[in-house]
A = this chain, B = another copy of it.
Amino acid sequence: MFSKACEYGIKATIYIAANSIDGKRISLKGIAKHIDSPEAFTAKILQILARERVVNSVRGINGGFEIDKHRIQDIVLADIVNAIDGDAIYKNCGLGLKECSEARPCPVHDKFKIVRNNLKSLLETTNVKSLAMEVDSGLAFLKL
């Protein structure tokens, strides 16, 4: 469904958010360990998310990643997915036609569009704060 990069990006962001809620900044190493992802690859993904202003990065000793407390509730999954995988998952034809359109639909267009829109609204309405709080309270998990 999502690329590995995107999966790591989502998990990392949730973990950063969970820490930011507690006022803690967290290092790449800590993130990779906690979400069980390859460190260097995760660094690349966090670079993207930092450039796209989904997370803040701070260099130097005691540096790491964080999210402004008052912004956490405004970040939705779609922000992360868009930054990493782009909008293909919303826009592309399920059968790979060059364009997904009503005018020249593929055979699964009508049905596929519904699933795709469900996914889209899931991503656009799910904010990172609620997910981070689930993790914080031990109701949801980021690895294994």
A: which residues have CB within 8 A of B?
Answer: 1-2, 4, 7-8, 10-11, 14, 77, 89, 92, 94-99, 104-109, 111-112, 114-116, 118-119, 122, 126, 131-132, 134-135, 139-144
Query: CB distance A141 to B7 under 8 Å?
Result: no
Cα-based distance from A44 to B81 in the complex (angstroms): 32
Which one of B94, B99, B105, B126 contacts A111 once the chains associate, using CB atoms below 8 Å?
B126
A61 to B95 alpha-carbon distance, docked (Å)? 31
Q: Is the CB of B108 within 8 A of A141?
A: no
**In the complex, what residues of B have CB within 8 A of residue A139's CB?**
105
Query: A11-B96, A105-B140 are known contacts; what are 15 more A-B pairs with Cβ within 8 Å?
Result: A1-B92, A7-B94, A7-B95, A14-B107, A95-B142, A97-B143, A97-B144, A105-B139, A106-B142, A107-B140, A107-B142, A111-B126, A114-B122, A115-B115, A115-B122
